[in-house]
Amino acid sequence: MSLQETTLQPAMIASGEAEAGGVLTIDLAAIAANWKRLYGMTVPVECAAVVKADAYGCGIERVVPALKKVGCRTFFVADIAEGRRVRAAAPDAVIYVLNGLMPSTAPAFAEANLRPVINSTTELAEWDTFVSSSNWDGGAALHVDTGMNRLGLTPEESVAVAARVQSEGHGFKLLMSHLACAEILDHPMNDRQIRLFREIRILFRGVPSSLVNSAGIFLGGTAHCDLVRPGIALFGGNPIPGQKNAMRPVVELKGRITQVRQIKKGDTVGYGASWTAARPSRLAVIAIGYGDGYFRAAAATKSKAPANVIIAGKPCPLIGRISMDLLAVDVTDLPAGVARRGEFATLIGGDIGVDELGAACGTIGYEILTNLGRRYHRNYRD
């Protein structure tokens, strides 16, 4: 557990927050509420949780117990190392490793009681060899590609493999695929993939199946199969861009103002002198930069406006380039004395959600979340 987390003694917590340039608050109750909302949309289908990339930057060790407490019993991660961390936090959980079986890693799955997602016939052959030599019966998932063209057996390969489900001990605990365009609800590829996966499911009768991610849940019951796999929606991201976000916000990021300074008309700010004051201005320098995971692309360019931060309830634009540890904000229009050294500015929170900040940076909320830096003091709200 990091010394920057709030599970420590109050004096240490206060000291850690006072010394930090940024404070990241993660609402575990909101994560649990988001899971319960999605489960309510899919019941009686099982609702799992995708907690790869350190639970989308929110911390596996804190997020997994919170989800387990409200009833989540199946988790998906990217690799074995993440799987071990989930196992430590949830000893009885079912844990699938999405990136599959790397060469010679099969014993590690058995050691940590993890289930690989088999993504090719080569992986399947290696897994079968390990299972037959070790008598390991922990099982695996079989991933069939229905149109993503990333990982997974081809539909033709899955037909050849399907015959083995007639035998006892075939070892398949889950049949899965992944939608390519689920966030666009009326995209024709959704229907094509759902139909193809339905045909493949028939060949694997008796094996539970899973197709949809966060966005796919909103396609309705025909896509839900036996298990749904939400990820971004659990952490407050909007699963359906362009529509009102149905999920509760999870993260709030505040940065400490280290200095407020006056500059003259014509003065420039930051590396490359990329911003020039058109009037006498007042700026606040905040102790967060791209070294903390705040994207350099948040600054203004010739083709887009800068991101805003919120100070005293008012949006204030970033000025100049984001540097490794600092960024500057134009606070000229705030009343004098409102922006003060030691006070906090809100970089994520209120009207600035992870998706809004992502759009301002030319990226998506996923990337904002998974880049949240480890220099922040972290507060977990239960």
- Annotated catalytic residues are 52, 271
Question: Cα(348)–Cα(364) distance, rounded to whole angstroms?
Answer: 14
Distance CA 224, CA 234 (A): 17
Question: Could you tell me the two tokens for 169?
Answer: 């001990």
Tokens at residue 286, please?
């905040």
Distance CA 155, CA 195 (A): 12
End-to-end CA distance of the chain: 17
The span from the CA of 231 to the CA of 56, in Å, is 8
The H or E element containing residue 201 is: helix 188-203
Q: How far is CA 292 from the centre of its chain?
A: 17
Element (H, E) at 18: helix 10-19
Identity (one letter) of the amino acid at 242? G
Measured distance CA(248)–CA(71) in Å, rounded: 18
> Residue 311's closest CA among 291, 279, 341, 354?
341
**Strands (DSSP E) found in 204-357:** 209-210, 227-228, 251-263, 268-269, 275-276, 281-286, 308-311, 314-319, 327-330, 344-348
Residue 125: helix, strand or coil by DSSP? helix
